[in-house]
Amino acid sequence: MVGETVYAGSGIIENVRKQLIPKMYVATFVDKENNVIIEFDVHEDLVVYKPGQKVSVTISKSLPEYKEGEDYVVHATVAAIKKEENKFKYLLSAGGLLFVVTTENELQLTSTEKVYVKVSEKK
């Protein structure tokens, strides 16, 4: 659908670190071309990312096309929006899994809005 994609970009998983909660990790996605950093929660029973892995991320207002069993897709709520210095921070919550999007560009999102986040491996 036209106008439904809020962000689409490619980059790498720069870092994956373990959380205190068993089987939970925080992955850091970096899109240098668009100056976007996304830190997001993953559970090892769902998906595992490795540093240096190439992925693409899409944030959209409608369900994006995805490959069952390959793509990581969540339905999230925009929980908070902050502007700090020259950057915008968006906190997206997907049933307790968090996605923190940091970008220099303002995204077309409002608080409490529902969005989909898709993470796909680049082959």
Query: What confidence tier does 59 reach under pLDDT thresholds 50, 70, 90?
Result: very high
Average pLDDT for residues 21-35, to the nearest whole number? 97
Q: How far apart are CA 117 and CA 7, in angstroms?
A: 9
Average pLDDT for residues 23-47, to the nearest whole number? 96
CATH number for the region 5-121 comes to 2.40.50.140
Over residues 49-58, the pLDDT tens digits come to: 999 999 999 9
Cα–Cα distance list, 9 to 54, 63, 82 (Å)? 11, 17, 21
Residue recorded with tokens 């339905």: 75
- pLDDT for residue 1 is more than 70: no
- What rounded mean pLDDT belongs to the chain? 94
- pLDDT for residue 119 is more than 50: yes
Cα–Cα distance list, 37 to 61, 65, 77 (Å)? 20, 23, 18
Res 23: pLDDT: 96
Res 17: pLDDT: 97
- pLDDT for residue 91 is more than 70: yes
In this structure, are residues 103 and 87 in contact, taking their beta carbons and an 8 Å threshold?
Answer: yes
Res 69: pLDDT: 87
